[in-house]
Amino acid sequence: MHFDIAEGMALPQRIFPPEKICMDWQQRQRPGPGLLNLGNTCYINVILQCLTYTPPLANYLLSHKHSQSCQQQGFCMMCTMEAHVRKVLCSSASTVLPGAVLRDLKSIGEEFEYGRQENAHEFLHCTLSAMHRACLSARHNLDVSSQETTIVHRIFQGFMKIRVTCSSCQAVVDYYKAFLDVSLDIRAASSLITVLENCMTSKQLDQKECFRCSKCKKKAAASKKVTVHRAPRVLTLCLERADQWTGTKISKFVEYPEYLDLRPYMSDTAGEPLLCSLYAIVVHSGDTCLEGHFFCYTKASNGLWYKMDDESVDNCDIHTVLGQQAYLLFYARAPGQHWPHALSLTGIPSCSSMEETVPSVESYEAAMVLSGVGDALGYRGGRWEYCTSGPQIHAELAQLGGLEAISLELPEWPVSDDTVLHLATAEGLATGLEGEPLLQELARRYVAAMGDMEGRKPGPSSMLGTSQLRPGEPEGYRIPFNPRGTGCGAAMRSLAIGLRYPHASELPTLIRVSIESGRMTHHHPTGYLGALAVALFGALGARGEPPERWGAELLRVLPLAWDYVEGTGVAVEDNAAAWPFFGEAWHRYLDSRGLLEGRGPPRVPPLPSPAERDTEYLGWALEGWPGRSGHDAPMVALEALLAAGGSWEELCGRAVLHGGDSDSTGTIAAGCWGLRAGLAAVPAGLHRHLEYRGRLRDAALRLHELAWGGRPPGAMGEPRYLQAECSFRPGAHTVRVTLTRSTLRVEVEAHGTADLWRGEFDAAFIEDLTRKTGNFKQFGIFCNMLESALTQSSDSVSLELLTYSDLETLHSRKVGAVTRPPPSTSSPLNSKRYLILVYSVEFDRIHYPLPLPYAGRPDLVALVRELQEQLAQLRARRLEETQHLRDALWQALEEKRAAEARHQREYRQLAAELTQAKSSEQKLHLRVKNLTAELASYRRGRQKSASPAPRPQEQRSASLESHRSSRGRPSPKSLSPAGSRQPRFDPTAFVRARQRRQKEAELRNQRRGVASGSTSPARSYKRSSSAESSRSWRLGGSSGSKTSERPEPAPCRDRRVTRTRRPLSTSSCNGPCMVPHPAVSHKLPVCRSGNKCSGKENRSKEPSAELAEIDARLQALQEYMDSLNTHL
């Protein structure tokens, strides 16, 4: 949106007044849970988390202001965000489903698709636009400027000023552009500061962008400069990670600060610094811009940083946050605008814990009593307070017999001015007053305490400051700036302030009360910041925070303290000039002890001797007097607490018995130690007879009641409502009580007549009333007593309802006076009622009467209206509960769908595994079946090995068929296991080959018989000898025969039986009895294959070797089958 204006902008109508925006958290919440990711919804989760932890927006949404007046039908983004923020920050759920946002995703932005990866920056822009539209839903006919006054634009909208200067005539034209976020080009820069400087630098317009100058009346070259004309309350910066030319992701690191000063980039650069504080960032992880994952870091209301990655929420520190490749940066304007002289707080975590454990009453009592013990010990009637030698003090202590031999009794061991002024502070706080009345009460008590200073030696600043106080006058509790007011007098009396305001949400009150009470006597930053330090230590100790974190928390609070000091407008320049010293001194000390970040064990030097401690403390002192100043008195106390642990003797040796202002450091250290350790480890003689022990104890009890148990109801700004049915004369009544921080409202209604009596009382009236009875009660304690009477939780308090006449009778009976006549019927006193709070003590009954004027009977019209309002509230609550149940049901359905999808994936995976297992089982069964068949076939072949040989013709046919089949197709591979010998043994083939050889042998024998049917006996004898010789050759009978030297034949599958065609030779059948015969004229039919002699030798091979090989192979086969059965 562009609009051309000359100077400034017209004031629009105000939809939401800017003065109602609160930039700081109004209430401290513990970090909320993570958000469920239902599939590519991380971009939604990070934006919702960043908006939830935007302080001004969260404060507005938690106030329910929009939903109470919303009239929009259907989807409303503001109502959706209000419900979401309340669910995240106010519920105890472990995770939250943003169901309403996902359900109406199309209403937020038409371009978004559920389940698809989207851009977080685009979703942020659409969400803010949807919230803005929701704020305008009930308003019509508004101009553009008025439409920009919604709560969304009040928080996020700023204005850019674009100034175009003509290069020819130097004419200037200004344009203003509204923005909700700023996109920055990071390609040419490595830090956010450099990017902003480049953006705000004047640039020459290109020729394509040349504008027409209204003064020159022609197109001319010009320059353009962009500045921030009006900064938003929340500045959102987008570091463009997508290269606009290549589309690739820019993954380089761009440095960004925790605190950003916008003043150098404003149109008016001469103003005061405009500081913004980083509170959230969004990070994109992934190699490309089109896919990846979003997560964020947010700063919760407790001041701690958390990494929020969908459902997970993890604590982290600022160093981790500042080291990310950020995509979106969220900066919020600091409430105080600027912090002059403040130290950099980068890396200092806050220890404002959300989970606060309630300390015991005994710990409060120990804190107050031991503060007096430390004071009396360190003072010793002025002898040890003004002693500069720690060894001398320890020598005197040894002469007294040590700490256990000392009894702190008057007159030798009085308390100093420290305890007297500390009591004045504690008893002033115990009144329960707040604000201006409390400060006036403290000033009055400080002035009164100076009358009890005989022999206590108060400091010069305390005496000067109290003499300048004017209690009762407007701002009479303030005195002029004192350049010499650097002492520890304000610090040593401020522990009670921390005990009164221990809660993290009460930090602003603690800052105000401690600074104002400190400035009543020590109007110098070094002096009154010591009061802030001790008060803060007391609050942290009451909450259970370890001392290792106290110093870091002090540095975190110092900028807030400056905001308050500057806001008061009292001696701002003098305070600003003297401000840096305190923070710098504490920064050096914490750095030397390794406690700047408030983590890890402290590096405390041993310092075993008193002289070494004096030397160490002297290096911290302002004027050569350790413990005298406001900065080093709490420093010595903290050092002693870190070194002593649970040892009372060590604490006294370091903080109470040293050279210098030992009573002030002793008051602070002993009080803080007692708050943590109690009285058990302290010798009884040190506190049994302590001066003002009773007053210290009573003040501790009252402070504990106000802070933890007896705090006025509604002290956090929320009223409490009580109602009870009571039986008063003459019948039943309903008592309704409304309690706030400083007021009490009581209503009593009679059941039978509907008569109503009503009264409202402030804290001053109640305390004055109790003071008149002789038994004073603070307002908070009185309210607790009234609550106990209504709930009947205590037997010592009860309620009565009396008329004026009854009250007069009771009074006359108590004092023994004559009863006065009752008032007339028409008198207002006769219609008035008195609610009596009766407090029963051991020997008396105290009556606290609350007058209740008659309010008449209720108006029927008003009752009907009230009933209608209550019904409307019930309906609204029912609708809200119904919506909550629907959201819960939708969340449960989504979880069910997700679980079903997961189960289906697991089922399909298991089914595939089962199918694979069945297939493997079938293959194994088939292999076993084949192996079993082969084994059976082999066994049958061995049994038939002795059968008659086949006929020659059949053998030849079988041989030819086998030969043809072997040439036509390859023989099937055996399933037998592969061993070390190749090829594999095939039992079936072996049996068949043996059968073929037997048949061929039978055929040859038959043919020989036919051919030699008519030969002579000699020929028969000769043939018989040849056959016998051949048989003996096959059996391998001769050791020197050629068959014994013949190598073992190859397996039968690869062996071929061949015969050579040659004439029959007598040399082949010579024997010892053979006679040579003439050659015959005919030839025997022979096989047409190979050498005949070789075939004979193959056929006549002895079967024993083959059988041995077969047995070996069968044994291997059996072992394989056994192992297979084992696996199956």
HSE-CB for 284 with a 13 A CA cutoff: 28
Amino acid 760 reads E
SS3 of 251-311: the string is CCCCECCCEEECHHHECCCCCCCCEEEEEEEEEEECCCCCCCEEEEEEECCCCCEEEEECC
Structure tokens, 613:
């401690």
Nearest residue to 53 (alpha-carbon basis) of 393, 372, 377, 298? 298
- Contact call for residues 938 and 986 (beta carbons, < 8 A): no
Question: What is the three-class DSSP state of 970?
Answer: coil
| Burial group, residue 43, by CB count within 10 angstroms (0-12, 13-18, 19+) | buried
| Burial group, residue 881, by CB count within 10 angstroms (0-12, 13-18, 19+) | exposed
Structure tokens, 726:
């009571």
Q: What is the DSSP string of 449-472?
A: HGGG-TTT---HHHHHHHHH--TT
For the chain, first and last CA: distance in Å?
79
Side-by-side strand order, sheet with 2-4: 2-4, 172-179, 158-166, 222-230, 203-204
- The reply to whether 181 sits in an annotated binding site is no
Structure tokens, 463:
């005496």
- The reply to whether 416 sits in an annotated binding site is yes
Nearest residue to 89 (alpha-carbon basis) of 124, 123, 63, 70? 63
State the Cα angle at 691 between 685 and 695, rounded to 5°: 115
Radius of gyration of the chain (CA): 52
| Peptide bond just before 411 cis, omega within 30 deg | yes
Amino acid 89 reads L
Angle between helices 550-568 and 580-592 (to 10 degrees): 170
Q: Please enumerate in sequence order all residues whose Cβ is within 8 A of that of 733, keeping only pairs 6 or more positions apart, or say none.
A: 725, 726, 727, 748, 749, 750, 751, 801
Q: Please enumerate in sequence order all residues whose Cβ is within 8 A of that of 1023, keeping only pairs 6 or more positions apart, or say none.
A: 1008, 1012, 1015
What are the CA-CA distances from residue 1082 to residues 153, 1085, 1090 (Å)? 128, 9, 21
Q: What is the DSSP string of 676-743?
A: HH-STTS-GGGTTT-TTHHHHHHHHHHHHIIIIISPPTTTTS--EEEEEEEEETTEEEEEEEEE-SSE
Question: Could you give the CA distance from residue 104 to residue 85 in angstroms, rounded to a whole number?
Answer: 17
Q: Give residue 196's region: left, alpha or beta (phi > 0; psi -120 to 50).
A: alpha
Query: Alpha helices, DSSP H only, in 91-138?
Result: 99-103, 105-108, 120-135
HSE-CB for 1015 with a 13 A CA cutoff: 20
- The reply to whether 1067 sits in an annotated binding site is no
- The reply to whether 793 sits in an annotated binding site is no
Question: Could you give the CA distance from residue 326 to residue 295 in angstroms, rounded to a whole number?
Answer: 10
Nearest residue to 375 (alpha-carbon basis) of 13, 38, 590, 670? 670
- The reply to whether 663 sits in an annotated binding site is yes
Structure tokens, 585:
């001194």
Question: What is the three-class DSSP state of 114?
Answer: coil
Helix, strand, coil content of the chain in percent (nearest 5): 50, 15, 35
Binding-site residue positions: 416-418, 661, 663-664
As annotated, the binding site for Mg(2+) includes 416-418, 661, 663-664
